[in-house]
A = this chain, B = another copy of it.
């Protein structure tokens, strides 16, 4: 006899399913919520359903949006000739936070990973190619901002093979030493890539 309430047990199990939440944290969160006013719980519960109902993918860039086309693709201020390809909508948020990028995006919703059974057809590569082929304006540059790991590299190689024939300039974001960290603690591969990608001062 561990829990004295089945409803609590169900709630704890539901929270345990979420990423980065273990059973102990799930219990702590559940107990916290049970102490909150009923209106707050209803609001939380409603915001879940509401987000799931309202959010869909942008017809152009596949980023999350509540309309047919996302705010970034609609914006007059963005350079439509520069497309940054990312794996997930979170990556768009991360890049937007830098306030450095003025182009538009394309969200793949994953990366090629044969080990996890994710093939090129499972992610939004077709949508990207359709976009490159069909758009009236000539694309100047495709920036590949994928995660620098095996799956990211595989996806970059695959995309490169497909896009190169179209004659569009393809770049990838720099791999190197993160700002604020120390050379001596950088791993060999990162350091090698940083040397390789050195720029003139």
Contact = CB atoms under 8 A, between A and B. Distances in A.
Contacts of A6: 66
B47 A14 contact: yes
Contact of A90 (B14, B20, B21, B31): B31
A93 B19 contact: no
Contact of A8 (B5, B51, B96, B97): B51
A70 B4 CA distance: 7
A29 B18 contact: yes
Contact of A30 (B43, B51, B75, B92): B51
Contact of A43 (B3, B14, B20, B54): B14
Contacts of A71: 1, 4
A20 B14 contact: no
Interface stretch (A32-40, A125-133, A142-150, A177-185): A32-40
Interface in A58-81: 58, 63-66, 70-72, 75
A4 B65 contact: yes
A49 interface: yes
Given A25-B20, A96-B2, A42 B49 contact: yes
Given A14-B47, A29-B20, A54 B7 contact: yes
A88 B25 CA distance: 15
A50 B96 contact: no
Q: Which of A38, A88, A93 has the most CB of B within 10 A?
A: A93
Contacts of A96: 1-2
Given A27-B90, A28-B20, A66-B5, A33 B48 contact: yes
A41 B30 CA distance: 17
A118 to B, nearest CB: 13
